[in-house]
Amino acid sequence: MPSTTAYGSMAIGEEPKPQAWSCASAFKFTLVTGFVATLLVLLEMQFGGIVGVVLLALLAVVCVLAFVAFCFAARPFSSSLVLVPFVAIKLQVKVVSILAAYAGRGFKPTFPEWTLVYELTITMMRYTFVEYGHLVGDENAPLLRSPFRMHGEFILKSNSRKHNTIPEKLQANGMDHMWLRDPEKKEHRVVVIHFHGGGYVVSDLLQDVELANQTHTMLQQILKDKYKLDVSVDVFLPNYRMAPEHLYPTAVNDCFDMYQYVLKHENIAPDHVIFSGDSAGAEMSLSNCIRLRDAKTPELQPLAVLAYSPLVDFSETGGDEKTPYCLLAASFADTCLATYLRSVTEPEVLFNVSPINHSLLNLPPVFLQWGSLERFYEQGLRFKAKADAEGVTNMELDVLHNFAHDPVMFPTAISPAAEKAIRHGCEFAAKQAARVLGGKVGSA
């Protein structure tokens, strides 16, 4: 049924309606294939056998390069180096099947909100997590961290120039972290601390460089345009130790310690700090606010929390049959959680790991966002319903219809919902910041 949030009306609880493979779609696919084949034949007739030789040579080079790339991608999903080529072949076959299905639908994605690139990404991630999630979520986890870091390192300078931020490395608590600094040092500023996701076992803080820079730009722009506030916005990407090398509660404690570090070394008040996190990082943002509340230190609570696709109930992650279009397959999600919680043996401790098992009163303003197709969506609705039942009035829910888990994790070139999803979070954060800064900062 429809539900209204601060960002408009959206459908909640509706069954997904994928695009069907119709006769018309198949006919279009046949026409396009026939056109390409005819064009190649005409070129061959016009220029002779040399065209065929050149085309075959180019095709061979492309195939070799593609296979090498797939072998590189297949390593984290292989239990040994010997199996890498075979896994690479399976991945290539899967890509071809996705493209064939796309063509068969008349070159339309499964859902109208998707693009081909997003569908390829989501479907391939789900496939690898279904087939090899038991490896990636445990023993092969370290192998799936470097690609995320490499991506972040590759775009760091160019993306920071685009958003007018200055990358600044920090070494603290035995780890490397990253600041994305606002070059304009104003008297007042807001700091966003973003904790990356990855199921507590994979990913890297640099994976979220684009998300962090967009947050800087959007939050600053909304504060200036809507609230007439001219404020510096710095974004901090902290590191934390992950499983299987470091088990619960290492990661959440590392996040808490880096928040304390920022307060101590950046000369900034807690009510000028915004927690942000996606997936596992979002859960740890919520858990640390609960920790501060239970420690009776309300003065240390951050200004607000932006929780993108958080896991809030560790006891119920859902089955694959309920979420066939989510990138998080049960094999991967369950293995990650089992690995992360391997040291937890007492039922009471396990119960308290889940944010949903705590009171949600007296927390900072919280922005919650899930995709309607994702594994954590149903528990997200239960989390918000619990908050409403307790009388919580400073929590907002945003649902991205027909999107899978964690749309903000992907670059905007991949996820068509990323920019909108981040903007919704920044609108919420700006509203909270304006409430605190309104009487302190002059008009733009």
Distance CA(438)–CA(425), nearest Å, equals 19
Bridge pairing between strands 175-181 and 166-172: antiparallel
Assess if residue 267 is contained within a domain: yes
Assess if residue 127 is contained within a domain: no
Q: What is the CATH number of the domain that holds 402?
A: 3.40.50.1820
100 and 187 together in one domain: no
Q: Token pair for residue 37?
A: 């084949």
Assess if residue 380 is contained within a domain: yes
92 and 150 together in one domain: no
Among 93, 108, 123, the domain-final residue is 108
Among 80, 108, 136, the domain-final residue is 108
Residue 116 CB neighbour total at 10 angstroms: 14
46 and 185 together in one domain: no
Tens digit of pLDDT for each residue in 403-426? 999 999 999 999 999 999 999 999
Assess if residue 128 is contained within a domain: no
Assess if residue 10 is contained within a domain: no
Which three-class secondary structure string do you get for 320-351? CCCCCCCCCCHHHHHHHHHHHCCCCCCHHHHH
- 4-13 contacts, C-beta under 8 A, 24 or more apart: 5/396, 5/397, 5/398, 5/399, 6/396, 6/398, 6/427, 6/428, 7/398, 7/424, 7/427, 10/372, 10/399, 10/401, 11/372, 11/401, 12/372, 12/381, 12/399
Range in 177-186, 317-326, 330-339 the model is least confident about: 317-326
202 and 336 together in one domain: yes
Residues 6+ positions from 214 with CB-CB distance below 8 Å: 163, 412, 418, 419, 422
pLDDT, position 23? 44
Contact 152, 206 (CB under 8 A): yes
What is the layout of strands, in order, in the sheet containing 395-400? 166-172, 175-181, 232-237, 189-195, 273-278, 304-308, 366-371, 395-400
228 and 309 together in one domain: yes
270 and 399 together in one domain: yes
Torsion-angle region of 203 (φ positive above 0: left; ψ -120 to 50: alpha; else: beta) = left
Is residue 52 predicted with pLDDT exceeding 70?
no
154 and 21 together in one domain: no
Assess if residue 5 is contained within a domain: no
Residue 307 CB neighbour total at 10 angstroms: 28
What is the chain's mean pLDDT, rounded?
88
Assess if residue 311 is contained within a domain: yes
Tens digit of pLDDT for each residue in 242-267? 999 999 999 999 999 999 999 999 99
Contact 166, 160 (CB under 8 A): yes
Reported as half-sphere exposure (CB side, CA atoms, 13 A), residue 27 has a value of: 3
Tens digit of pLDDT for each residue in 140-184? 888 889 889 999 999 999 999 999 999 999 999 999 999 999 999
Q: 139 falls in which pLDDT band (50, 70, 90)?
A: confident
327 and 428 together in one domain: yes
101 and 152 together in one domain: no
Assess if residue 337 is contained within a domain: yes
Range in 63-67, 101-105, 344-348 the model is least confident about: 63-67
Is residue 130 predicted with pLDDT exceeding 60?
yes
216 and 331 together in one domain: yes
The domain total for the chain is 2
Q: Token pair for residue 292?
A: 């501060």
Q: Model's pTM, two decimal places?
A: 0.86
203 and 66 together in one domain: no
Instruction: Work out the burial of residue 319: count CB atoms within 10 Å of its CB; fewer than 13 is exposed, 13-18 middle, 19 or more buried.
Output: exposed
Task: Quote the domain boundaries for residue 33.
Answer: 16-108
Output Rg (C-alpha) for the chain, integer angstroms: 24
168 and 66 together in one domain: no
Q: 6 falls in which pLDDT band (50, 70, 90)?
A: very low
